[in-house]
Structure 1
Amino acid sequence: MRRLYVYWVAFVSQIAMLIGINELVGVIGRAWLEREAAMGDVFFRTAAAGSISVLVVATPIFLVHWGVAQHFRNESSERSSLWRKLFLYASTAAALIILLSNSGRLLSEICWLAFGGTVAATEIWPVGWLQWSFMAAIGAGLVYQWHTVLNADGDFGKEARPACWVRQLFLCIAGLIGLGIAIWGAHTGLQIGLQIVVDRIFWASDPNWWQRPLSSGVSQVLIGAWLTHAIWRQWQDAVELNPAEGRSVMRRIYLYLSVLIGAITALTPAALLLREGVLMVIGEGAGSLAVLLDRMTGPVSFIPVGAVIWSWSWTTLRKETDTYGDSKESATVRRVYTYLVTATGLALLWVGAVELLHALIDAALVGDVWREPLANGIALLAVGVPTWTIFWRRAQSIAERNDATGAVERNSWPRRLYLYGVALVGALVLLFTLAQVVYRILLAVMGESDAMLSSGELAYRLADSVVAGLLWALHLFALRADGRFDRPAEAAVGMVQNPDERRAALEAHIAWLEAELAAARAELAKLESRS
């Protein structure tokens, strides 16, 4: 309870101090540089008194409680405590927010001036530069301070379990935030470049419209790239101190999420482009070429950014898997990733196949309403089919192995959840759609004139049933195959009645188990030699 109280009060008072400093610098800057406030002004007195009062109260509270915390730092239990690590990494996060937000605003305004913006229209002059620079310097100083304290604790990269999770969670979240900022900034810059080209060819617009958004994009790229690199460098330092960190759960989660972010960033706009292309080919384009290009600058600008992130993340993940191997937990993360992507690809394939069949039905029975469903179906299938096929075959190649690795894969909860989940959804869709078909047919047989509504409606339900039935059957067969893999050996042992035959079967079974154990030990020794 002492640690909870000390570190919680120290953190809250530290945040209050930073808020007070920020407000006080802003007030002093406006009074000094803008010459709009004097000591007698009500606004100045109120703002200055408020920020100073916060500092006067919060500063001694923070110093006292941080001093108490540091008083016990010679105790190993104190240095490795969960509450200390929570305080240090939460304080680092707060300092990073101050550093990045103020640096981002400062860089954005500097870039805007470099691109031709006027000083009179910028926020950097006369007060902004002072407040942002001062607060960015404070943020940088605090980041350095807390990093120094963490290193001085002596357990960086080798923390006990709860404290280790705090560090890894901080690195994972901060790294993903930096990645997201960099992606958005790079997308903004590319989109503006493409938009300028389109505007100069097709449109007459304000020649300076791009200055403000491009300055924001450049600052976001710089801030995001720096944060991503700094976090990754710190994680690499932890791996160098403790090679087991290379196969930790949170590090693998970070890499797999980076792969997913890159893939989604690249493939989603690619599917949108394919859809628009199909619509143009079949005569359903949205207006002129200029309108289409103007609308596509946003999606197109995401594709190269996502491709770069996707390539880097996947290459790094493969390299780390080969170097550090898999722990039991990181193998579970891999399976979750594999079956999550497989399920996503299957969903796209499923919906795309239904859309495509509906488009064919519309063309044959309904009329001239088939173009949109056809474009949607082709775009979804173009992404869903390769995604599902690649990851499903990858999962099956492991599950079909007749060894311990295959048995672990077949009995893993991500695979079971995926297979039974798809089987359940397929059964429910099949039940609903076939019930609708049978219901309409029975009403028609009984003489209900409006029962069928239209031949197209009945064909829709039949198409839905066909797709659901095929995917349902495929996954049921996979479940059945998983169940048969381990039965022959068990049956051979359990059904033998003759003692000599039973002894021989048991000896063969024991020999197989010993061979699997020897292979597992050899693999473990190989991993240990690498680390």
Structure 2
Amino acid sequence: WALRAPGADPAVDHFEHLPGAIASLAVGIAIWSYHWWRAQDEADYSPTLKVSANRAYEYIVAALGLGALSVASFVIIDTALVVVTERSIELISGVDLWREPVAVALTLALIGGSLWGYYWPSAQRRITPNDAHSERASLSRKIFTFVVLGIGIMALLGSVSATLFVFLRDALDASLSLDTVRDIRPAIGVALTAAFILPYQWSVYRADRLAEPKDDADTVRRKRVSVLAQEGAHELIRGIEDALGYSVDTLNWTDDEAVTPSLSTEALSDLAGKVAVSPGGRVLIVLDAAGARVLSYD
């Protein structure tokens, strides 16, 4: 509406569909908020699981924001080429070919830029000296990086191939003209958009690879750990997961002798050490009045 030409439809006609859009937006926000609340509520049972859930959420929303920015970039580039190639049509018909696409691009850029600009720096800030490997090696980050790089590389190769094909076809046919630019216009938009995004994402990927530990001594060897505990031992389970650095499976102990001991931070650290040096690939932690017993098996 702000980009409308003089003498265009009045605001009341232009915004006649706005109530329906607001209603749809409200429903979408309500559904999003409810599922976010449910996910947080379920993840509260395990601090490690909560970190993983928050991390996955941030990368998903950042990917959506980056996708919106990519579409906005494509629309802007394509619109610029349309204005150049279809200038004669615009002059003859008096129709503005750029107003609606520019409005769409600005909308996508505003939404996508807000999402990506908030959640991606948030993910990057978690790469601290004490937790750099955990964040860089997370499954969510790897999926995000490889999906963006994969889509970007395929889009770049496909658009460059299409551009070369059309150009060589018309060149060999001695028919290079404005129609050639019209034919390769979408491919140029895709190629330039991919060229804007890929260098940065490649630098992120390279930084993650270079930061990987050179040997297994710097990594935590995860084992399949199960804890036999009575119902209501959530706080103790959280402490065990914090000490181990990963989540555990909980087995509900229903016998009368089941107890929930009080373990100090030092005791939890010792327990994590016993799990780490246990010979088996799987570990069962049995809670008792004296503390906890570690039983390993394969």
Scaled by the length of structure 1, the TM-score of the pair is 0.36
Indicate yes or no: 2:95 matched with 1:375: no
Determine the C-alpha separation between the residues in 1 that align with 2:15 and 2:211.
54
Determine the C-alpha separation between the residues in 1 that align with 2:179 and 2:202.
34
**Alpha-carbon deviations, 1:93-119, whole Å to 9, x = none?**
xxxxxxxxxxxxxxxxxxxxxxxxxxx
From 328, 352, 356, the counterpart of 2:72: 352
2:48 is matched with 328
Aligned residue for 1:294, secondary structure, equals coil
8 Å contact kept, 2:153–2:198? yes
**Alpha-carbon deviations, 1:261-297, whole Å to 9, x = none?**
xxxxxxxxxxxxxxxx34xx23299843332343212
**Alpha-carbon deviations, 1:476-509, whole Å to 9, x = none?**
211111011135xx38x9xxxxxxxxxxxx9xx8
Mean Cα deviation higher: 354-363 or 440-449:
440-449
8 Å contact kept, 1:443–1:451? no
Indicate yes or no: 2:68 matched with 1:338: no
2:208 is matched with 482
Aligned residue for 2:187, secondary structure, equals helix
Compare CA radii of gyration and give the structure with the larger one: 1
2:122 is matched with 394
Which residues of structure 1 form unaligned runs of 5+? 1-276, 494-505, 511-519
2:145 is matched with 419
1:363 is matched with 83
Aligned residue for 1:431, secondary structure, equals helix
Determine the C-alpha separation between the residues in 1 that align with 2:206 and 2:136.
11
Give the aligned residue type for 2:123: A
8 Å contact kept, 1:402–1:485? no
**Alpha-carbon deviations, 1:362-396, whole Å to 9, x = none?**
22332332222111111111101111121111111
1:5-24 equivalences in 2 (<5 Å): none
8 Å contact kept, 1:345–1:385? yes
Q: 1:285 to 1:317 in 2, by over 3 A?
A: farther
Q: 1:343 to 1:285 in 2, by over 3 A?
A: farther
**Alpha-carbon deviations, 1:446-490, whole Å to 9, x = none?**
343168733244344223211112212221211111011135xx3
8 Å contact kept, 1:444–1:452? no
| Deviation of the 1:397 alpha carbon | 1.5
Determine the C-alpha separation between the residues in 1 that align with 2:21 and 2:8.
16
| Deviation of the 1:316 alpha carbon | 10
Determine the C-alpha separation between the residues in 1 that align with 2:7 and 2:136.
47
Give the aligned residue type for 1:298: G
Aligned residue for 2:126, secondary structure, equals helix
8 Å contact kept, 2:170–2:180? no
**Alpha-carbon deviations, 1:181-206, whole Å to 9, x = none?**
xxxxxxxxxxxxxxxxxxxxxxxxxx
Which residues of structure 2 form unaligned runs of 5+? 91-96, 220-241, 246-263, 269-298
From 9, 12, 28, the counterpart of 1:290: 12
8 Å contact kept, 1:440–1:451? no
Give the aligned residue type for 1:411: A
1:462-481 equivalences in 2 (<5 Å): 462-481=188-207
8 Å contact kept, 2:81–2:185? yes
Runs of 4+ residues over 4 Å off in structure 1: 301-321, 520-526
Q: 1:366 to 1:284 in 2, by over 3 A?
A: farther
| Deviation of the 1:525 alpha carbon | 4.6
Aligned residue for 1:449, secondary structure, equals coil
Scaled by the length of structure 2, the TM-score of the pair is 0.60
Determine the C-alpha separation between the residues in 2 that align with 1:395 and 1:424.
20
Q: 1:309 to 1:460 in 2, by over 3 A?
A: closer
Determine the C-alpha separation between the residues in 2 that align with 1:285 and 1:380.
27
Determine the C-alpha separation between the residues in 2 that align with 1:346 and 1:455.
27
8 Å contact kept, 1:359–1:371? no
8 Å contact kept, 2:40–2:50? no
**Alpha-carbon deviations, 1:407-433, whole Å to 9, x = none?**
112111111111101111101110111
RMSD: 3.8
Give the aligned residue type for 1:446: L
8 Å contact kept, 2:85–2:178? no
Higher strand fraction (1 or 2):
2
2:224 is matched with none
8 Å contact kept, 1:350–1:467? yes
1:495-506 equivalences in 2 (<5 Å): none
8 Å contact kept, 2:75–2:189? no
8 Å contact kept, 2:149–2:201? yes
Determine the C-alpha separation between the residues in 1 that align with 2:244 and 2:164.
59
1:150 is matched with none
1:104-503 equivalences in 2 (<5 Å): 277-278=1-2, 281-283=3-5, 287-301=9-23, 327-367=47-87, 368=90, 369-399=97-127, 401-403=128-130, 405-449=131-175, 453-487=179-213, 490=214
| Deviation of the 1:304 alpha carbon | 6.4
Determine the C-alpha separation between the residues in 2 that align with 1:332 and 1:449.
57
Identity in percent: 20
**Alpha-carbon deviations, 1:5-34, whole Å to 9, x = none?**
xxxxxxxxxxxxxxxxxxxxxxxxxxxxxx
